[in-house]
């Protein structure tokens, strides 16, 4: 069952299974090499996570995406993550250097067009900071929200890395100076600008979908 859950979750995040599309148990079972039972259990788990919506007698559907959901998602992320930054501690010279090295590596990857690695390094950067808050429960909630954020971020995968790098650098500089309140505010600004740019991609995708429906009718 874990294989099916992972297959579906990753497929929903990367767009293999499109928002509001019906999930076909037979096709999924064939892809995962399993029976229908693990697929049904996977639907139940992913429904609890918010990735799938199950309708009685109608089957399972990929949860929709919207600007309202994006705004709600980033609002919750902002509160959880900024508080994690305020509570974080233990940023010695070695830790600060590691964070700066991460930013340098991300810039190099972006320059050569390795966007997948940029995404991975971005996650490593943020969680290297959040882990220092020593709050496993908060970290788990943040991880879950990041999975949902990834659905939206793929709509704007090539967005504003240079600006993001500057915003990340400001966060590290504040942590280096021991000003965690300033670091939290720098993160708040970073998340707000990120959400605004992704919002534009979501709105553009919605317009494109409406145009395609109108053209087909």
Average pLDDT over residues 160-176: 85
Task: Tell me the residue length of the chain.
Answer: 217
* Per-residue pLDDT band at 208 (split at 50, 70, 90): low
Average per-residue pLDDT for the chain? 89
pLDDT score of 211 more than 50: no
Position 206 scores a pLDDT of 62
Q: What is the pLDDT of residue 210?
A: 45
pLDDT band at 212 (very low <50, low <70, confident <90, very high): very low
Burial of 12 (0-12, 13-18, 19+ CB in 10 A): buried
pLDDT at 147: 93
Half-sphere exposure of 43 (CA within 13 A, CB side): 20
Q: Which of 45-59, 165-179, 190-204 is least confident?
A: 190-204
Question: What would you measure as the largest C-alpha separation in the chain, in angstroms?
Answer: 62
Q: What pLDDT sits at residue 214?
A: 37
Write down the pLDDT at residue 89.
95
Neighbouring residues of 38: CB distance < 8 A, sequence distance ≥ 6:
1, 3, 4, 29, 32
Structure tokens at 215: 């053209």
Q: Does residue 142 have a pLDDT over 80?
A: yes
Q: What is the pLDDT of residue 215?
A: 44
> Is the pLDDT assigned to residue 216 strictly greater than 80?
no
pLDDT confidence of residue 115: 82
How confident is the model over 8-26, as pLDDT tens digits? Answer: 999 999 889 999 999 999 9
- What pLDDT is attached to residue 154? 79
Encoding tokens for residue 69?
Answer: 């959901």
Confidence of residue 105 (pLDDT cuts 50, 70, 90): very high
pLDDT number for residue 6: 95
Tens digits of residue pLDDT in 148-165: 999 888 776 555 556 678
User: CB-based contacts of 110: which residues, under 8 Å, 6+ apart?
Assistant: 118, 161
Which ranges constitute the DSSP H helices of 88-160? 93-111, 115-130, 136-153
């Amino acid at each position: 069952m874990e294989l099916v859950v992972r297959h579906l979750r990753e497929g929903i995040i990367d767009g293999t299974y499109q928002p509001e599309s019906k999930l076909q148990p037979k096709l999924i079972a064939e892809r995962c090499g399993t029976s229908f039972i693990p697929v049904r259990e996977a639907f139940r788990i992913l429904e609890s996570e918010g990735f799938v919506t199950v309708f009685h007698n109608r089957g399972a559907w990929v949860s929709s995406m919207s600007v309202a959901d994006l705004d709600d998602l980033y609002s919750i992320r902002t509160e959880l993550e900024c508080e994690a930054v305020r509570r974080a501690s233990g940023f010695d010279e070695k830790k600060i250097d590691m964070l700066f090295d991460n930013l340098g590596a991300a810039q190099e990857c972006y320059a050569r067009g390795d966007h997948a690695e940029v995404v991975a390094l971005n996650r490593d950067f943020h969680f290297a900071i959040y882990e220092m808050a020593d709050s496993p429960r908060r970290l788990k909630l943040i991880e879950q929200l990041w999975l949902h954020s990834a659905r939206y971020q793929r709509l704007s995968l090539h967005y504003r890395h240079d600006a993001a790098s500057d915003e990340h650098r400001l966060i590290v500089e504040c942590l280096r100076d021991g000003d965690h309140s300033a670091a939290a505010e720098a993160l708040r600004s970073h998340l707000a600008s990120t959400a605004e740019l992704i919002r534009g991609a979501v709105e553009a995708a919605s317009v494109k979908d409406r145009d395609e429906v109108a053209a087909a009718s």
